Amino acid sequence: MLNFMLAYHGGKMPESPEEGAEHMVKWEAWAEGLGESLVNRGTPLGQSKSVNTSGITEGAGVDPMIGYSILNADNLETAVKMFESSPHVNYGGTMVVSEMMEM
């Protein structure tokens, strides 16, 4: 089995506590459906700074990563199929699925 990281980008914030709770119910059901393949259910990310040869800047660019999950799957295509039903896309978000390379 290989590990894949799902990077969450963008999406709208819930407009009310009730909408936020509804989204969490959908997300939890999706995560439960993946079973033991979902190694890390999800970690939201907070404030960011960018570091490069020009120095340090506030934020993480135009499309910052807002969280991630980690999944075990046989290959990239299988991982994408498992992630494509995530409720994150219903909230206008984008997801990037990447194989985590062994070093």
Confidence of residue 60 (pLDDT cuts 50, 70, 90): confident
What is the CATH number that goes with domain 2-99? 3.30.70.1060
Angstrom CA distances, 44 to 54, 64, 73, stand at: 27, 12, 22
Express each pLDDT in 24-40 by its tens digit: 899 899 999 999 999 99
Q: What is the pTM of this model?
A: 0.82
Asked if 76 and 4 count as a contact pair (C-beta separation under 8 A), the reply is yes
Count CA within 13 A, CB hemisphere, residue 34. Answer: 25
Q: What is the pLDDT of residue 21?
A: 92
Report domain extents, the chain.
Answer: 2-99
Express each pLDDT in 63-98 by its tens digit: 888 899 999 999 999 999 988 888 888 788 889 999
Return the number of other C-beta atoms located less than 10 Å from residue 4's C-beta. 23
